[in-house]
């Protein structure tokens, strides 16, 4: 059994890990902020540089989403291994593995879609003078 102090410590670390996911940044490339992205997408015609900038944005976004997916897949494994929790705590953690698995799959799908957009913008850049 876990003591109240041990459980509190585990809960704090779990929340800290989840909050870290929200502010994770890509290792390479740069995800554009909403204003920058909106400005590029609102242009009447895009230059080759614009398409390449969007391709870099979507590639960086795909990388970030993929890393977050892997973190959630790891959290699912972590929550499945949880044993000997007090009954009230066990009830609260029961749905966490499935939640993390579902979120990981959604993030993988989003990463794939972002990479497809990056590929499309690279192709458009090749066709643009």
State the pLDDT confidence band at 23, using cuts at 50, 70 and 90.
very low
Predicted local distance difference test score (pLDDT) of residue 43: 84
State pTM to two decimals: 0.71
Predicted local distance difference test score (pLDDT) of residue 54: 93
Q: What is the secondary structure of the chain as a DSSP string?
A: ---HHHHHHHHHHHHHHHHHHHT---SSS-PPPHHHHHHHHT-SS--HHHHHHHHHHHHHHHHHHHHHHHHHHHHHHHHHT--S--HHHHHHHTTHHHHHHHHHHHHHHHHHHHHHHHHHHHHHHHH--
Q: What is the mean pLDDT of the chain?
A: 81
């Amino acid at each position: 059994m876990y003591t109240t102090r041990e459980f509190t410590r585990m809960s704090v670390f779990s929340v800290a890990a989840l909050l870290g996911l929200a502010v994770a940044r890509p290792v390479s490339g740069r995800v554009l902020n909403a204003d920058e992205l909106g400005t590029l997408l609102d242009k009447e015609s895009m230059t080759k540089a614009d398409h390449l900038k969007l391709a870099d944005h979507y590639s960086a976004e795909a990388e970030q989403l993929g890393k977050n997916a892997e973190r959630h897949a790891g959290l699912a494994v972590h929550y499945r291994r949880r044993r000997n929790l007090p009954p009230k705590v066990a009830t609260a953690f029961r749905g966490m593995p499935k939640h993390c698995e579902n979120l990981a799959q959604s993030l993988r799908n989003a990463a794939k879609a972002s990479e497809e957009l990056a590929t499309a913008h690279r192709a458009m850049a090749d066709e643009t003078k």
